[in-house]
Amino acid sequence: MLTNSMMIARRFSSHTAAILLSSTYDSMCMSAVTIPHRCYMRPTTSPLLQSKKRYRETSQQSTVAGDAVNPLTKPSSVDKGALHLVSVPIGNLKDFSLRSLEVLRQVDYIVCINRQASRHLLELVDIDCSGKLIHYRPNGNDKLIEMLKGGRSMALLAPSGTPCIGDGGGDLVREMLQGGVRVTSVPGPSAVISALSVSGAMTKTEGPFHFGGTLPEKSGSRLRQLKHAAALGCPCVFYEYPRRLLHVLTDICRVMPKRVVSIVHEVTKVHESLHRDTADKLLIYYSRSEMLRLISRGQIVVVIDGADGMEEVLDGETMTSRDELYHRLVTRELDAAGGDPWSASKMVALSLSLPHGTVLAGYNQHEGDLARASSERSAQQEAAVVPMRAKTSRKERLRRLRIKRRERLIQKIEERQELIRMSAALPAFQK
């Protein structure tokens, strides 16, 4: 049969003959009863080739099945009966994580500290929150625990950033844990960590930092907290309002004027800014009206560097005015300027980018204040001597008066004794 096919193939062209030969051979192979396994299988002894083959087969299967194996698009379900602490952006919507968006879409209820801000944020990312928002109230924790134990799922949402860091919600989490409810974290942006990282305050690979929340409104309480932070010696982070920035910087200067401070404004937002310098120079910088106007709105994070071991923490009563700050800076440069206040103030003005007249006027003003305070103290000391003299003369008068009274009493006693003797001798004279 093979011979006849070859004879026929010689009569046709080479191309036609090849096709005919191939088809004839295929029919012979298909009609064979037994074909050895090694005849059609390509043997290989390389594990690398076998692994590549398995990888290609797995890739083809995943392509057919879709993107189910992709961890970024893999569907997942939110745990029921659990409270999810969801972090939200602090200024840039692109900081939303895929997991936080998925949790917010799938939970049954969303507990929000600021309902209006949370609703606006969820609408921006196209999350339907109708009938899901619950305004957080500290006295309603028991009802939320009952809902979670009933199989509901809940998410706790802060106005911005990570919940329970610088805002409410910590009491709710504590009561959830005490009630046996599972609490999970959906991590994300945090103004504390962002400001601390961009400020450069964490120079050590290991070491603590202190987060003090928002500083108190009253200056006395604020000074006590700043003294405590200065004594720690580690970087300290505080939230602050723009309207109080000058007061806070003044108090920082009263406690630690040479400590390096970073003012982080509108972190992750369009007008994000960072100004890092010593506390006394920052006070002068933000004292300008145009600089303070730039940060009149928004959020501010104050990062205070840790102590360098050579710093002296002041008692909080040495820095009271901007003129005193000028006086300190000029006094420090007097030796380099040969004892001339004019040259020293010129050097300070150049280093601070301020008008020379402003620095010199502040130095002279505080110098006059010190002179007046010295004269007032001298006058007070002299005035205190006069009451002391008056008090001494009064004591002397009382002593003399007591002496006179004693002398008068002795005289009366002697006169009485003389009268008694005369009365006893009178009958003898009458006889």
pLDDT computed for residue 154 by the predictor: 93
**H runs (alpha helix) in 167-321:** 170-178, 191-199, 219-232, 245-255, 279-287, 289-294
**H runs (alpha helix) in 82-180:** 98-106, 115-124, 141-149, 170-178
Report the DSSP pairing between strands 273-278 and 260-265.
antiparallel
Letter string b/e over residues 27-66, b meaning 16 or more CB atoms within 10 A of that residue's CB: eeeeeeeeeeeeeeeeeeeeeeeeeeeeeeeeeeeeeeee
User: Residue 271's pLDDT band (boundaries 50, 70, 90)?
Assistant: confident
Give the whole-angstrom CA distance, residue 149 versus residue 387.
78
Q: For 26-30, 58-62, 71-75, 220-224, which range has the lowest pLDDT when averaged over its residues? A: 26-30
pLDDT at 40 over 50: no
User: Residue 369's pLDDT band (boundaries 50, 70, 90)?
Assistant: confident
User: Residue 372's pLDDT band (boundaries 50, 70, 90)?
Assistant: confident
Q: Could you tell me the domains of the chain? A: 82-189 (3.40.1010.10), 193-320 (3.30.950.10)
| Higher per-residue confidence, 285 vs 317 | 285
pLDDT computed for residue 348 by the predictor: 77
User: Residue 303's pLDDT band (boundaries 50, 70, 90)?
Assistant: very high
Q: Is the dihedral of CA 317, 323, 329, 330 positive or negative?
A: negative
pLDDT at 342 over 80: yes
Would you state the torsion angle of the CA atoms of residues 279, 281, 287, 290, taken in this order, to the nearest 10 degrees?
-120
| Higher per-residue confidence, 10 vs 419 | 419
pLDDT computed for residue 270 by the predictor: 86
Give the whole-angstrom CA distance, residue 333 versus residue 32.
107
| Higher per-residue confidence, 55 vs 370 | 370
pLDDT computed for residue 388 by the predictor: 55
Opening angle at CA 216, ends 215 and 218, nearest 5: 135
| CB count in 10 Å sphere of residue 372 | 10
User: Residue 243's pLDDT band (boundaries 50, 70, 90)?
Assistant: confident
Nearest Cα neighbor of 366 from 315, 317, 316, 331 is 331
User: Residue 356's pLDDT band (boundaries 50, 70, 90)?
Assistant: confident
- Tens digit of each residue's pLDDT (9 = 90 or more) over 89-119: 998 899 999 999 999 999 999 999 888 999 9
Give the whole-angstrom CA distance, residue 418 versus residue 413.
9
DSSP class of 210: E
Backbone φ/ψ region at 91: left (φ over 0), alpha (ψ -120 to 50), beta: left
Give the whole-angstrom CA distance, residue 387 versus residue 314.
35
- Tens digit of each residue's pLDDT (9 = 90 or more) over 164-180: 888 878 889 999 999 89
pLDDT at 49 over 90: no
pLDDT at 229 over 70: yes
pLDDT at 138 over 90: no
Q: What's the average model confidence in pLDDT over 109-136?
A: 90
Question: By the 8 A CB rule, do 148 and 59 touch?
Answer: no
Q: What percentage of the chain's residues is helix, strand, coil (to nearest 5)?
A: 55, 10, 30
Share of the chain above pLDDT 70, in %: 70
Max Cα–Cα distance, the chain, nearest Å: 208
What are 354's two structure tokens?
């301020």
pLDDT at 183 over 90: yes
User: Residue 389's pLDDT band (boundaries 50, 70, 90)?
Assistant: low
Question: By the 8 A CB rule, do 119 and 133 touch?
Answer: yes
Question: By the 8 A CB rule, do 348 and 359 touch?
Answer: yes
Question: By the 8 A CB rule, do 130 and 153 touch?
Answer: no
pLDDT computed for residue 263 by the predictor: 94
Q: For 80-94, 99-113, 129-143, 381-395, which range has the lowest pLDDT when averaged over its residues? A: 381-395
Residue by residue, DSSP assigns 29-95 as HHH-S---GGGT------HHHHHHHHHHHHHHHHHHH-STT-TTT----PPTTEEEEE-B-SS-GGG
Sheet harboring 182-186: ordered strands across? 133-135, 109-112, 154-157, 82-86, 182-186
Nearest Cα neighbor of 257 from 313, 183, 322 is 313
| CB count in 10 Å sphere of residue 7 | 9
Question: By the 8 A CB rule, do 86 and 105 touch?
Answer: no
Q: Indicate the average pLDDT of the chain.
A: 77
Q: What's the average model confidence in pLDDT over 205-228?
A: 87
pLDDT at 72 over 70: no
pLDDT computed for residue 74 by the predictor: 62
Q: Which stretch, 15-19, 193-197, 310-314, has highest mean pLDDT?
A: 193-197
What are 137's two structure tokens?
């109230």
Q: What's the average model confidence in pLDDT over 200-206?
A: 76
